[in-house]
Structure formats: C-alpha cells, structure tokens
Amino acid sequence: MTLLELDCVTKRFGRVTVAESLSLEVAETELLGVVGPNGAGKTSLFSIISGDLEPDEGRVVFAGQVINRLGSASRCRLGIGRTYQVPRPFERMTVFENVLVAAQEGAGLRGRASGEQAYSSLETTGLAADANRPAGSLGLLSRKRLEMARALATRPRLLLLDEVAAGLTDPEVSELVAIVRWARSGASGAQPVAVVWVEHVVRALSGTTDRLICLDSGSVIADGRPEDVLADPAVRDVFLGTDEVTPARAQAEGPEVMHRESPTAAQQHSAQQHGAQQHSAQSPSARSLGTQPVGGQ
C-alpha cells in the first residue's frame, strides 16, 4: 500500500527550482534510497514532506490524507519522522531529554512509557551510554545518531534520513546501515517503518535499498533497482565531475572522465533526457534500458 505520495509538487526559490512537478510514491515498509548531486533538491524534498517547506504547487498525501496544510509538528504526530542533514540537537538539554521530548510530543507518550521509548531509541542508536550528557557536547557522529534517535522516538511510520552517513568512515557507515535495518525491521519493538534515505555517499545506499531514485534539479531522473539506476547514463552524467561514482566504476570509466562535461553542461544534458527517463520510471520495459552494461553507451 502507498504510504506517501507526492503529486506534481513544484517548489521554486526565485530562479532555483528545488522540485519540478515532482511525483513520487513510497510504499509502506519500503526502503527508498535517494541520490543526487549537491543542490539537486534532496533536502528540500524532505522539507516539503515534513512540512518545513510549503510547495508552490502539488499535493502531499500521507496515509491517504492530503497533508499540505498541516504544520511539521502535526505531520510528525501523524507519523513522519525526519532527521536534518545539519543536526539540530537541543544543545543545552541532555541526550535523554532530547529524545524524551520526541517520545512525548511526537509519539504522544506520557510518563513511564515515554521514558522507556526514549531510552530504547537511545539503545537502538548506540547512544545509551551518553544519555545524561548535554547534547551540545556530542561529536558529529553522535549528533547524527541523536537525530535518528529523536526521529525514531516519535514512532514514525515514515522515516526520512538526510545524509546521516555523510562525513563518516566506512565502519561507521556500516554501523549506521545496521541501525537503519534494525529500526526498519520493527525488531526494536515498534511497528515496521518505511524509510526514505537521502545520501550523497552512494556506497551507503547501494547495498541497502530495494529501490533508488536519482534527483537532479528538482526532478526524478531515474527510478528503479539500485544497480540499474547507478548504471543509468543520465545518472552517471549527473555524477560525473564529482567524486561520487563508486571507485570501481570510476576506474572503468577512465577515458570518459578525461572529457567530462562541466557541471552545467551535464545538467543541461540530463534535463534533455529527463522526459524520457521519467517515462522509464513508469514503464517496466523502458526501465530495463538502464540495465545495459556500463560500457554499452
């Protein structure tokens, strides 16, 4: 069943378009990965879903309800939990208190139940030992964990993770992936959740998600199985000129990198392809185009 649906959502900041007639569906308990270059509109997409940003056009539907007019607090209470790319800890509160607010306000728990929920979120994210420390004293990794703990404590049905793996080492990324899997499986005692995971670091997502979309200039330029999407020429165009191609591919593409396009040219190029790719997102036969071998273009 569809949990979240974006229907032709458009959002512009002056001449910058962060969402261009964007449509997207997320199924219950799905783990959807979102990749895209800097400035593609990934964070803005989350803000539109979580209610921090109001779209200019289009509908946001959650669990069958149009939520355009709801504020972010109400959306959280409905079951949309988000983390912020730049963590927003309550610095002068303890780590436990940070999560306790979330359990009380977001999940609507009271008294003992809220404490239990808060603490179990801290355990899930590996922060239990820091429970009584001021959140302001945490390092970056712990701040990202705290973002996740807080979002989890609101008992979400949909969890939006915004670059929680950015800036982390490989082992740390693996840990984070394990946490997300754990939270998602419902093994933590709560109901299973759908996850939308934005990551600039593709390696965190590739082995984890069932489905991947690539966002560029506010549009979905590819949507499908992770390996298909990463092999998609339009996607590779967008990522060329950045260091985000996986190392193995980067080597295989040696000659191509020699004459890579400038970022703007790449974006124009992808914009031309955009129509076709959107189509491919809908039609299974067209989507199989993306499975062509990397060198086959």
Partner 1 sequence: MTAVATTGAVSPRNGARSGLVVSRSYQGATWVGAGGVAGVALLAALPLFASQGFVTNLVNLLILVAIATMWNALAGYVGLVSVGQQLYIGTGAYIVLVLAQNGVGAFAGLGLAIVGSALLAIPASWLVFRLSGAYFAIATWVLSQVAMLFVERFTSLGGGTGAPVPGLDVFGPGKLLEYTYWAALGVAVLSVISVYLLLRSRLGLVLTAVRDNEVGARSVGAHVLAAKRVVYVLAAAGCAGAGAVIAISTLDVEPNNVFSVQWTAYMLFAVLIGGIGTIEGPVIGAVAFFVLQQVLAQYNAWYLIVLGCVAMAMAIWARRGVWGLLATRLRLELFPVGYRVRLEERSTKKAGGT
> Which one of the spans 77-85, 108-116, 143-151, 228-236 is the region binding Mg ion (CB under 5 A)?
77-85
At a CB cut-off of 8 Å and minimum separation 6, what does 39 contact?
16
Give the total of residues touching ligand ADP (CB under 6 A): 11
- 36 near ligand ADP (CB under 6 A): yes
Distance separating alpha carbons of residues 129 and 127, to the nearest angstrom = 5
Contact 7, 22 (CB under 8 A): no
Distance separating alpha carbons of residues 160 and 11, to the nearest angstrom = 19
> Which one of the spans 13-21, 109-117, 261-269, 285-293 is the region binding partner 1 (CB under 8 A)?
109-117
Tell the smallest beta-carbon distance from residue 45 to Mg ion (Å): 9
- 267 near ligand ADP (CB under 6 A): no
Residue 120 interacts with which of ligand ADP, partner 1, Mg ion, none, CB < 5 to 8 Å by class: partner 1
Phi–psi pair at 260, nearest 5 degrees? -70, 150
Q: Which of 236, 234, 255, 256 is nearest to 246 (CA)?
A: 236
Sort residue 183 into left (φ over 0), alpha (ψ -120 to 50) or beta: alpha
Please list every residue from 181 through 240 that binds partner 1, using CB under 8 A.
Answer: 181-182, 187-189
- 100 near partner 1 (CB under 8 A): yes
- 50 near Mg ion (CB under 5 A): no
At a CB cut-off of 8 Å and minimum separation 6, what does 216 contact?
36, 37, 40, 234, 238, 267, 270, 271, 274
Distance separating alpha carbons of residues 107 and 158, to the nearest angstrom = 13
- 273 near ligand ADP (CB under 6 A): no
Distance separating alpha carbons of residues 187 and 183, to the nearest angstrom = 7
- 50 near partner 1 (CB under 8 A): yes
- 43 near ligand ADP (CB under 6 A): yes
Give the total of residues touching Mg ion (CB under 5 A): 3
Contact 248, 47 (CB under 8 A): no
Distance separating alpha carbons of residues 132 and 77, to the nearest angstrom = 26
**Binding residue (CB under 8 A) for partner 1 from 54, 57, 91, 210:** 91
- 150 near partner 1 (CB under 8 A): yes
**Binding residue (CB under 8 A) for partner 1 from 14, 171, 284, 295:** 171
Query: What is the CB neighbour count within 10 angstroms for residue 3?
Result: 21
Residue 107 interacts with which of partner 1, Mg ion, ligand ADP, none, CB < 5 to 8 Å by class: partner 1
Tell the smallest beta-carbon distance from residue 44 to ligand ADP (Å): 3
| Dihedral angle, C-alpha 84, 225, 174, 2, nearest 10 ° | 50
Tell the smallest beta-carbon distance from residue 208 to partner 1 (Å): 13
- 153 near partner 1 (CB under 8 A): yes
Q: Which is nearer to Mg ion, 34 or 177 (CB)?
A: 34
Tell the smallest beta-carbon distance from residue 26 to partner 1 (Å): 18
Question: In the complex, which residues of this chain contact ligand ADP (CB under 6 A)?
Answer: 13, 16, 18, 36, 38-44
Q: Would you tell me which residues interact with Mg ion (CB under 5 A)?
A: 42-43, 85
